[in-house]
Amino acid sequence: MSNTAEDLLFDLTLTDDQRMNRETMQRFAAQEIRVLAQEVDRGESAVVDFYAKTAELGLSLLPIPEALGGAGMDRSPISNVLIFEDLAHGDMAMALGSVAPLGFVNTLLDQGSEAQQEKYLPRFCSGEFVAATTALIEPRATFEPSAPQASATTSGNGFTLNGAKSMVPLGTDAELVLVIAQLDDKGPAAFIVEGTPSGMQRTPEENMGLAGAQLATLNFDNVELPADALLGEGAFNLQRFLDLSRLGLCALAVGTCQAVLDYVIPYCNERIAFDEPISNRQSVAFMIADIGIELEAMRLMTWRAAALAERGEDFHEAAYLAKQQCGHYAMKIGTDGVQLLGGHGFCCEHPVELWYRSLRAIDILDGVASV
C-alpha cells in the first residue's frame, strides 16, 4: 500500500454523542431486535410491524438538513458504521432492513440534486418508517457491481428502464427504490423509482438467510420514468456508492460476528464434558481466540476506512480491503460459532445457526447499506 505511517493513523475515541447513540442502538438491538429475530426468520412474526418501531430511532432523520425537516447533523460515516454494527448485534437481516432507508437518504444527499432532495427527503421527517432502498445486484452468475446490465434509454421526455435486480432489501414493499442501470452509452446512472409503475414486478425471494430483510427480485419491463427520476445533475459516481455501501456491509458483518463471539464464550465456559468446561480444551480455546483476533481485524479495517471517508480522503482501497477481510472471515466466524456449539449448533434453539446463515451473504451482497 502507498499510505504513509501518518495516513494510517485514525482516532478511536468516540464523541459523547456517539457514545450515547451507541447505548441507544445497543439497547434497541437487545430489547427489540434480538427477541424477535428467530420468530421473524421462521415467518412467525410480521417484520413490517417491527420496522414501524425503528422510526423511533430517527436514523434517516439525522443527516437531513433542518430546512427540510431533519435533524441537520453532519453526515458521519464513522457514526453510521457504529449504528450498523450495533443493530446487527441483534440480527443482521433486521438491521439491514432498518438501515436500508438511511442508505437511500445518504445517497440522495451525496449525489442527488437540490430539487430531488427537496422533493423526497421531507418524507423521511414525518416520524414514520419510510420503506426506501437501493437496487444494484443482478441475478446472473457473471454479475459485476461496477458494470450493471440493467439498462435505461432516453425516450421522449424521460427514460425507459429494463432489466432485473435481485436481493433488494425491503424490495417487497419499498415506496422508493434507487435503481442502478446503464444509461445509453453514458455509463452507470441511478434512477429513483416511486411505487410500482407499470412494467415493474416484485417477487419475494426465498434464500438461505436474511428473511427479515424482505429481499426481493425486481423486474423492469419497459418501465417509463420521468426526466427527474435520474439522480443528480452530473455523472453518477458508482465507485463511491459502492465503497460507502461496502463500509456499511462490513459494519453489519462486524456486529453479527460480535454476537457470535459474545454467545460462544459463556456457552463454552458453562458446557461441561468429561467433568470440565469445554473451554479448558486447547482446541476450543484457540478457536475462540481466533474468532476474537479475526473480528478485531475486521472492525479496525472497517473503522479505518470509515475514518478516511469522514476526512474526505481517498478510501477506495481501504473499503475494498475491509470488504475482502469481512467477506472471508465473517463466513469463517459463523462456521466456527456453529462448530463450537457442537450438536447444539445444528439446532434452531440457539441463534448461532441463524447468524451463520446470514453471514454467508456478506461476500455476495453489494450496494445495500451506504453509510
Question: Does the structure show a pLDDT above 50 at 153?
Answer: yes
CA distance 300 to 172: 34
Is 245 in contact with 370 (CB distance < 8 Å)? yes
Residue 234: pLDDT over 80: yes
Q: Determine the pLDDT at residue 1.
A: 46
| H or E segment to which residue 314 belongs | none
Instruction: Tell me the pairing of strands 272-273 and 276-277.
Output: antiparallel
Which of 82-91, 191-200, 275-284, 348-357 shows the lowest mean pLDDT across its residues?
275-284
Beta strands at 151-155 and 200-204: parallel, antiparallel or unpaired: unpaired
User: 288 pLDDT exceeds 90?
Assistant: yes
Query: 170: alpha, beta or left, given left = phi > 0 and alpha = psi -120 to 50?
Result: left
Q: Do residues 252 and 98 make contact, with C-beta atoms less than 8 angstroms apart?
A: no
Q: Above 90 in pLDDT, residue 267? A: yes
Mean per-residue pLDDT for 180-188?
A: 93
| Cβ–Cβ < 8 Å for 175, 165 | no
C-alpha cell at 327: 467477506
Task: Label residue 255 by pLDDT band (50, 70, 90).
Answer: very high
Return the SS3 of 142.
coil
Task: Give the pLDDT of residue 8.
Answer: 64
All structural domains of the chain, each given as residue ranges with its CATH number in brackets, are 16-130 (1.10.540.10), 135-229 (2.40.110.10), 238-359 (1.20.140.10)
Q: How far apart are CA 110 and CA 96, in angstroms?
A: 20
Considering Cα of 22, then 130, then 55, then 89, what sign does the dihedral take?
negative
Each residue of 34-83: pLDDT tens digit?
999 999 999 888 888 899 999 889 999 989 999 999 988 888 999 999 99
Q: Which residue stretches of 200-281 are H helix?
A: 238-270
Mean pLDDT of 219-231: 96
Assign 3-state DSSP to the chain and report helix, strand, coil percentages, each to 5.
50, 15, 35
Q: What length does the chain have?
A: 371
Q: Say what the pLDDT of residue 3 is.
A: 59
- What is the average per-residue pLDDT within 336-361? 95
Contact status, residue 286 vs residue 310, Cβ threshold 8 Å: no
Q: Yes or no: say if 68 and 118 are a contact pair by the CB < 8 Å rule.
A: yes
Tens digit of each residue's pLDDT (9 = 90 or more) over 204-213: 999 999 999 9
